[in-house]
Structure 1
């Protein structure tokens, strides 16, 4: 059994500031669950290009409002509190926050916690041995 408190993650190396977002990494690859879980805040007024070519992601919005634009078809998906979106096809997208958005994000495969978006919005696979 493992219990993770958000208050114990904030201010540690598991609290990653990506500029437009802050990701508090709660469950990671090292925890052996087969997925990772993050509490992420997307900052109001930002647009973030993301393309998880190596990961699938489900995102549950628990606060705020924004939208996702899938770049393959330029479709805009409004997102608000109590809604989940799943990037089930490694969808390249733009995430826009109208207000601060607080999201619970689940990644498969799990991330190690050291990943940051590259110039294409991708999390590269990080070897545990690094």
Structure 2
């Protein structure tokens, strides 16, 4: 059994900070569960270009408000507490935070823990 506390993970190398967000990666590839689990904070007033070409992601909004715009069709989806969105088609998108948003995120395949978006909004695929 694996048991971890968010506050302990936040005080470790499992916390990754970028310009528009920070992510505490509570479950990683090394845990051998087949997915990774993260608590991510999206900073208020930011827009982040994301395109997970190598991963599928599910995101549940726990707090805050924003929107996601899918670039293929220009559709905009409001994000608020209780909303789950699933990037099941490797959807290229813009994530905008009106206020600070706390998100619970699941990635498949799992992340190793140090990933940040490249200039195309992609996380690399690590074997």
- Indicate the TM-score class for this superposition, using the shorter chain for normalisation: over 0.9
Deviation >6 Å, runs of 4+: none
* Aligned mates of 1:117, 1:126 — CA distance in 2: 13
* Aligned mates of 2:68, 2:121 — CA distance in 1: 14
The residue number in structure 2 matching 1:115 is: 115
Unpaired stretches in structure 1, ≥5 consecutive residues = none
SS of equivalent residue, structure 2 residue 120: coil
C-alpha RMSD of the superposition: 0.7
- Paired residues of 1:55 and 1:109 also in contact (CA < 8 A): yes
Normalised to the residue count of structure 2, the TM-score between the two structures is 0.98
CA deviation after TM superposition for structure 1 residue 18, in Å: 1.2
Unpaired stretches in structure 2, ≥5 consecutive residues = none
Q: Deviations over 1:15-47 (max 9, x none)?
A: 000110000000000101100000000000000
Normalised to the residue count of structure 1, the TM-score between the two structures is 0.96
The residue number in structure 2 matching 1:60 is: 60
- Paired residues of 1:62 and 1:102 also in contact (CA < 8 A): yes
